[in-house]
Chain A
Amino acid sequence: MDIIVLVKFVPDLVEDLEIDAQSGLLDRSFLRLIPNELDEHALEEALLLKERHGGTVTVITVDTGDVDESLYTAAAKGVDRLIKITGEGFDQGVTNQALAVIFQSVMGDMAFDLILTGTQAVDDLDGFVGAMLAERMGLPYVGYVTRVEAENGTMVARKEYPGGLNADIEVRQPAVLGIQAAEKPPRYVVTSKVMEAMRSATIDEIEAPETPIGGSLPVSRMSVPETGAHAEMIEGTLEQIAEAVANRLREQGILA
């Protein structure tokens, strides 16, 4: 089974996020980027499928900065091919609409049975890339997948629903799956293997087609979540706070 894993890089929340006063967008000057967690799960699921069924795993990412080390780490884990898509202005981020267009054009003449990506990413939380890509490519899409089984030419994806419900959905290949969680947590690969991959693996650089990277939905303003106007912060010692809460509950008639 030949699998393509799409990885996007998102801000690492270990650093405080700041909004650039001029542009009204995320200040990217101190930003560290990290592979989206669910994309790491997609990669793990791909590696598990490769271990079970053979084939190859290709990782494709868009070069928004800081991506090489993670690509070499993927190679050390067992990925066969690394592709980095470069393009002007990518260091300022690429919207999900543009990502779908870019990924599609790069995969144009590649042979594959399955495309895996994280169901969503922590930056936008909209979960669009997989679905938009599948729509553009005329492929089936299932999101929130926690398990993939492939046997005798059929593939079953387990989709997670709210409330503890699961559905096993038969999907024809090739398909796009949005991974919610791999069957096992993403593996650790020792540093010496990553270093070895840095020496031996190559990253194929492909230039992106001319695509408006802003997409069709311009961001007018970003803001950090603000304290709601109706919230009152009660301050003081534990006893004072408890007393104030109890008084408020009495006023509301909730406590006698």
Chain B
Amino acid sequence: MSVMTSHEFLDKVIRATPDGEHIRRCLQCGTCSGVCPYGFAMDHPPRSLIAALRADDWQGVLESDTIWLCVSCFACASVCPVQIPLTRGLLSALKTEMLVGGSIPPELQTALGNSRRYGNPMGESPRKRADWAKDFTIPVPVLANHKDPVDVLWFVGDYGSYHPRVQSVSKAMAKVLHALHVTFGILGPEENSDGDTQAFTGEWGLFELLARKNIKAMTKYSFREIITGDPHAFNALKHEYPRLGFDRPVRHYTQFLFERIDQLRRLFKNPLSMRVTYHDPCYLGRANENNIYEEPRRLIEAIPGVELVEMSHNRALSLCCGGGGGGMWLDGFSWEKAHARTTEWRIKEAIAVGADVLAVACSYETPRFEDAVKSTGNEGKLMVRDIAELLAEALFG
């Protein structure tokens, strides 16, 4: 049982969050709740949460577990007219209180426990983190066994390392880097989960534990910059790791490759006659105003034969795939509470614009959207491809 009051909680959030005092300016307009993908199923979407806290109904807030529907997609924060740090501040702080109070869905508990013990949410062996790259046609050096300095430290991430579907994306990425003669290396067994999504479940202590392990590993090696295919890792490395004293240049791979777009154009051998639509990942776009909207699109358009079409929710208005904020590990819970999957809405949008391919740029998204293609009965009508896979296909056929 929490001994805190609403006002003590609010004070705590205000003190701990940059621009936290903006919470006091909330005008109860409700734009946040309207744009929230799961607002319809939450007892307290953001506006109502602030109202409940102002009314000092702390127990009422804690008794509801629907905060676990929050997918930390930054939709609310990005539309708030008074710039309240809802996602990074208020909502993640409430999740922390839920965790401390022991109100945690079992599937999320498993993912957090695995992350703490094994450094990845799936509970896979840390020793096998680089196994995807073993016996692969393209050499993927693990820095611990690699003497020469590299230009690029590639932070592969949990799903790129362990998830069978996303391992294919990692392999495509390795092919593209190889084609561009980029010298790169990975951390392999020394890499831990970036911790970003754990942080947005409110487990900031776990985030710090994981981040410090990664920092310790990365500090050992010589490289010019970090690239990653995981927008969550990108976001953490860019905005959260510097607080812990690690401030090295990091780019999402789409930024890195966009810089080499002319080189890529010269190397493309295999035109892809496809109508492609692009899903903006929340953590490349809205989150912390990362605003990486154009580079992925330019890369897609550079592929000969490809026609890029836009869905109605694009750029800052993108619709979350539902994997953020712990949603990746709360599929059962979210379905039970909301009876909806944001991925299915997205697939219907992609079908509506006549796309052959839904292009993505986030490690969570290929499996999530492929599942939704099947669950909406659209198998065979729409392919889900990471941009790295499209590029590799255009380069190598």
Contacts and interface: CB of A to CB of B under 8 A. Distances in A.
Interface in B64-120: 96, 99-100, 102, 104, 106, 109, 112-113, 116-118
B203 interface: yes
A30 B127 CA distance: 10
B354 interface: no
B116 A191 contact: yes
B125 interface: yes
A194 B208 CA distance: 13
Nearest to B127: A15
Interface in B334-383: none
Contacts of A192: 204-205
B123 A14 contact: yes
A182 B24 CA distance: 44
Contacts of B109: 185, 188
B203 A191 contact: yes
Contact of A188 (B102, B123, B124, B204): B102
A244 interface: no
A187 B108 CA distance: 12
A231 interface: no
B14 interface: no
Interface in A182-216: 185, 187-188, 190-195
Contact of A190 (B118, B124, B205): B205
B99 A190 contact: yes
Nearest to A12: B117
B209 A191 contact: yes
A221 B116 CA distance: 35
B309 interface: no
Interface of A: 14-15, 30, 34, 185, 187-188, 190-195
6 contacts: A14-B118, A15-B125, A30-B127, A188-B102, A190-B205, A191-B205
Given A185-B106, A188-B113, 15 more contacts: A14-B118, A14-B124, A14-B125, A15-B127, A188-B102, A188-B109, A190-B96, A190-B99, A190-B100, A190-B202, A190-B203, A190-B206, A191-B206, A192-B205, A195-B209
